[in-house]
Amino acid sequence: MGRAKQEMIEAEGRGWYEPDGYVCPECIEDEFLKSIISDNACHQKCDYCGEESDDDFAAPIEALMETIRDTVFYYYNDPTCAGVPYDGGSFIFDPIDTHEVLESLGLECDGQLFDDVANAFINSGWVASAHGHWASSHQNEILNASWNNFVNVVKHEVRYFFSRIPNSKESYSQEYSPPQLLSIISHLANELKLISTLPLGTSFYRVREREDGAEWELDLSQMGAPPAARASAGRMNPAGISYLYLAFEQQTALAEVLERPPCGAAIAQFDAQRDLAILDLTDLPPLPSIFDDSCRDQREGLLFLSRFVVEISKPVKKDGREHVEYVPSQVVSEYFALSFQVNGQPLDGIAYPSAVRPGGRNLVLFPCKRGYERNFDQVVFQSGQEQKFADWAELTDVIR
């Protein structure tokens, strides 16, 4: 067998021809791909930007190809191999070319390098696929679909007895049931290290609107969580079950409560009187590179959680239906309050992004004891103060 034929067989087996040339880390944007170039540097000149060095800093393009190939085949496949059906002698939808595939994957690099990588692939037509099949879904897509189903179920079908949900799904459905989804979310919280500790003495703030002439005292009885009998449905708590809503920043607490000036606010400070274990949804880990196959599971989980956090913290219009719109986040909160433990102890609460102040962080604390009386021994009331805002300039200056 001739050398040329042998090279062709090898290329067909791996899916790409070996492109010529050397590339440096500065010619590509993705940090993971930069690290591959640095790890395989064996040349002193980059063929794309023309930079030269006395040290090896450029790597053969082929050093990137296996990683890029694996990513391409994780998200795409040849239409025939992916099992795309025919209709009238052609595929039911048109394949896209390799350039479009690489663009969809976010490959940002020198233009000539982009063309060389695209042209190195033997296959030229692609369809989106998961696990090699056009009709399959990636984990984050399954989780997103499962969340959509979860929201519909708890808002409109079954709220308390998930095991009694009629199975109306087709047998090939990949979605998780509501109980399975809750379990997966708790698994992701552990796996992605979203459980954090707020140390003793951490300060939090709570605001109530205070009208002119109000005579109630700025003390714990007025600034703490409402009694169970008066607890209306909130973003995280069901009606009749009192949670304590706080903010990490005084500005966020004001922004969450005050709607328009002129207005007055009662501002209370609470301090943690012990270390608090919380589910922290305010600072998710950075999304791993799409090209890093060792972090695919982590990336899939984070793609879902990013959307999940947006969903449970998004603004809800106060139009009388908020008691329904809040149900999904209430069910999630009650699950973490009652079924999730940290080192054998219940979780204290959930930190989540503010829906009204970008960068602001809210904290909801679960009651330490369930019952008619409020019981939140995680924090202690420190002080209260009153503040008035005559116009938008005053209010904006404080909450920005």
- Comparing 160 with 212, the larger pLDDT belongs to 212
How far is the C-alpha of 298 from the C-alpha of 347, rounded, in Å? 23
Low-confidence winner among 21-25, 210-214, 315-319, 379-383 (lowest mean pLDDT): 315-319
Question: In this model, does residue 95 exceed pLDDT 80?
Answer: yes
Backbone angles phi, psi at 51, to 5 degrees: -65, 145
Q: Could you read off the pLDDT of 297-329 as tens digits, one per residue?
A: 999 999 999 999 999 988 777 777 777 889 999
Q: In this structure, which amino acid lies at residue 92? A: I
- What mean pLDDT, rounded, does the chain reach? 90
Contact assessment for residue 188 and residue 305, using Cβ atoms and an 8 Å cutoff: yes
How far is the C-alpha of 47 from the C-alpha of 153, rounded, in Å? 57
Question: In this model, does residue 57 exceed pLDDT 80?
Answer: yes
What is the distance, to the nearest Å, from the Cα of residue 88 to the centroid of all Cα atoms in its chain? 42
Contact assessment for residue 136 and residue 75, using Cβ atoms and an 8 Å cutoff: no
How far is the C-alpha of 13 from the C-alpha of 19, rounded, in Å? 16
pLDDT for res 400: 80
pLDDT for res 161: 77
Contact assessment for residue 343 and residue 374, using Cβ atoms and an 8 Å cutoff: no
pLDDT for res 170: 46
Tokens read off for 116: 């060389």
How far is the C-alpha of 291 from the C-alpha of 19, rounded, in Å? 19
Residue 206 pLDDT grade (very low, low, confident, very high; cuts 50, 70, 90): very high
Contact assessment for residue 252 and residue 203, using Cβ atoms and an 8 Å cutoff: no
How far is the C-alpha of 248 from the C-alpha of 360, rounded, in Å? 8
The SS3 assignment for 303 reads helix
* b/e sequence 105-117, b meaning 16+ C-beta within 10 Å: bebebbeebbebb
Contact assessment for residue 263 and residue 209, using Cβ atoms and an 8 Å cutoff: yes
Question: In this model, does residue 340 exceed pLDDT 90?
Answer: yes
Tokens read off for 349: 């609460």
Q: Could you read off the pLDDT of 24-52 as tens digits, one per residue?
A: 999 999 999 999 999 999 999 999 999 99
Residue 10 pLDDT grade (very low, low, confident, very high; cuts 50, 70, 90): low
Q: Could you read off the pLDDT of 122-134 as tens digits, one per residue?
A: 998 999 999 999 9
Tokens read off for 145: 């679909």
Question: In this model, does residue 347 exceed pLDDT 90?
Answer: yes
**pTM listed for this prediction:** 0.89
Burial (CB < 10 A; 0-12, 13-18, 19+), residue 254, is buried
